[in-house]
Amino acid sequence: MESDLMDGVVVVGGGVIGLTTALVLAERGRRVRVWTRDPVERTTSAVAGALWWPYSIEPVALAREWALRSLDVYEDLAADPEATGVRMVEGVLGDEDPDGAEAWAGARLPGLRASTAGEHAGTGMWARLPLIDMSKHLPWLRERFLAAGGTIETRTVSDLAAVEAPVVVNCTGLGARELVPDASVRPVRGQLVIVENPGIRTWQVSTDTAGEKAYFFPHPDRLVLGGTTDEGRWSLEPDPAAAEAIVRRCAALRPEIAGARVLEHKVGLRPARDAVRLEREPLPGGRTLVHNYGHGGAGVTVAWGCAQEAARLASP
């Protein structure tokens, strides 16, 4: 009982941020329970395209630090892609300045260079980055957490202060809007089209002349096409017109995509905020609440770095 009082942690939220945070805590010897409304397969994280890159996340300096810490982990996990879902894959980040990236990531990402005209029309950067298959990675996180002695419970939390634990970690993503409450948290709707992979092995992220994003991420059995960034939209229903536009934009980059058979449509709501909230707050009775939410579309990119920081904040 004394150990429970000293080490007990409840992580609220079972997406990639919550599971990674819980895993880091458990592997540091804490007694950790995850309370989640949905299984990992039904979280927003399951819809993530999941290319490692600190995209649209603030504060920039901290996000880059968290991303590089996460990169260390993903590079190790890429040694066993079948189990972890992590592979190192080459591709082009359109509209990205290689010199700017070199300044903060060059030492960790050897081989960064400007893309050629044959690789990308316009300014771009060729890089080898972690690409994460979330259908494998999320279950792998869950099993590693359970193997570390953690437990997962299906529970809906309506009051963080009422959670009976010495330490509560809030990893509720978009749910923080009502739960905290934090009105600055907002949805940025993202739609994906999953198609058969016609033999594409590199990824690409680009922006067309109308300012619309196009990207494709290759996995051995499928190709993930995106996407949309619909600020403030809550609908989880796939939009047929948006899906057609996604395929059209991606096919403009790689024509063979036009004939690929559609396997699935997916929609997720990125938990956006002007800046990530990663901080400690006192609770009544000497207990501690740690907030770790607001990562937008970069949750996978910074998950391990943020988890390590959250674990530090959760220390007695």
Cα–Cα distance, 167 to 161 (Å, whole number):
10
Residue 154 CB coordination number (10 Å) = 11
Q: How far is CA 53 from the centre of its chain?
A: 10
Is 196 in a helix, a strand, or coil?
A: coil
297 is in an annotated binding site: yes
Residue 7 is classified by DSSP as: H
Nearest to 271 by CA among 205, 207, 142, 176: 176
Cα–Cα distance measured from residue 185 to residue 294, given in angstroms and rounded to the nearest whole number = 7
Distance CA 285, CA 311 (A): 20
With contact defined as beta carbons under 8 Å apart, do 248 and 193 qualify?
no
Q: Is 270 annotated as a binding residue?
A: yes
Q: Is 172 annotated as a binding residue?
A: yes
298 is in an annotated binding site: yes
228 has binding-site annotation = no
What is the per-residue DSSP string for 100-165? HHHHHHTTTSTT-EEPPTTT-SSSEEEEEEEEE-HHHHHHHHHHHHHHTT-EEEE---S-GGGS-S
Q: Is 300 annotated as a binding residue?
A: yes
The Cα 34–Cα 215 span in angstroms is: 33
Q: Is 70 annotated in some ligand binding site?
A: no
Q: Can you say which residues are annotated as belonging to the binding site for FAD?
A: 44-45, 157, 172, 296-301
Q: Can you say which residues are annotated as belonging to the binding site for D-dopa?
A: 215, 270, 297
Q: Can you say which residues are annotated as belonging to the binding site?
A: 44-45, 157, 172, 215, 270, 296-301
